[in-house]
Chain A
Amino acid sequence: GQQVMQIPQYQHVQEGEDFTTYCNSSTTLSNIQWYKQRPGGHPVFLIQLVKSGEVKKQKRLTFQFGEAKKNSSLHITATQTTDVGTYFCLINDYKLSFGAGTTVTVRA
């Protein structure tokens, strides 16, 4: 079935540094969604990408959809302790499928 691979699984970041998490699919996607789950919390919708090459920003978060619509990235600049949590991507062309998530920890 359709799957999405998400890397890295863990990201330990120094406060103030940047990092990127990636989601990759073997098939062309209609759209991709990103969610964030804080420790002890539940997934919360962040953003949706639909167009080829689309780039969307939310403050220090930059989301990108690849030109071929097979991959997506989330880049966070100047990481803060509030960025701690797990970031998931979600695809739904054939079957709902979440990526495994990137769990981010921040050292002050």
Chain B
Amino acid sequence: ETGVTQTPRHLVMGMTNKKSLKCEQHLGHNAMYWYKQSAKKPLELMFVYSLEERVENNSVPSRFSPECPNSSHLFLHLHTLQPEDSALYLCASSQDLLSGGSTDTQYFGPGTRLTVL
């Protein structure tokens, strides 16, 4: 599946580094999402964008900064991360925003495996 791509696939960074994760969807969708998946924890929704506007921010620390320059691209800028931020970061998209009992479905990218040293 190449509908949603993420780069890089793996990233190792120190706590003082600044890096960015990139997500691109080729499906013509209007909504994009960032999730964090840690070992033995449910998928945690971080940010939601609909038509390039942020519609949800789930109490995510400010060291994570999302950016959605257009409906096809989503970035997650990282700075001064902590070791507990090590996780799989998944991007997803859907045709329209999933809320209010929407029957739309999400398409996930392969994820970026992040390790913070």
Contact = CB atoms under 8 A, between A and B. Distances in A.
B100 interface: yes
Nearest to A103: B40
B30 to A, nearest CB: 15
Nearest to B91: A42
B105 A48 contact: yes
A53 interface: no
Contacts, number: 55
Chain B's interface size range is 20 to 34
B98 A92 contact: yes
B90 A43 contact: yes
Chain B binding surface, main DSSP class: loop
A42 B90 contact: yes
B49 interface: no
A88 B107 CA distance: 14
A24 interface: no
A96 B101 contact: no
B101 A93 contact: yes
A33 interface: yes
Nearest to A99: B42
Contacts of B1: 44
Contacts of B99: 92, 94-96
Given A92-B98, A92-B100, A96-B98, A45 B105 contact: yes
B45 A96 contact: yes
A93 B108 contact: no
A101 interface: yes
B110 A43 contact: no
B100 A42 contact: no
Given A41-B110, A42-B90, A42-B109, A30 B43 contact: no
B26 to A, nearest CB: 16
B66 to A, nearest CB: 15
Interface of A: 29-31, 33, 35, 41-45, 48, 50, 88, 90, 92-101
* Nearest 10 A/B pairs, CB to CB: A30-B101, A42-B108, A98-B43, A100-B42, A92-B98, A45-B105, A93-B101, A43-B108, A96-B45, A98-B42
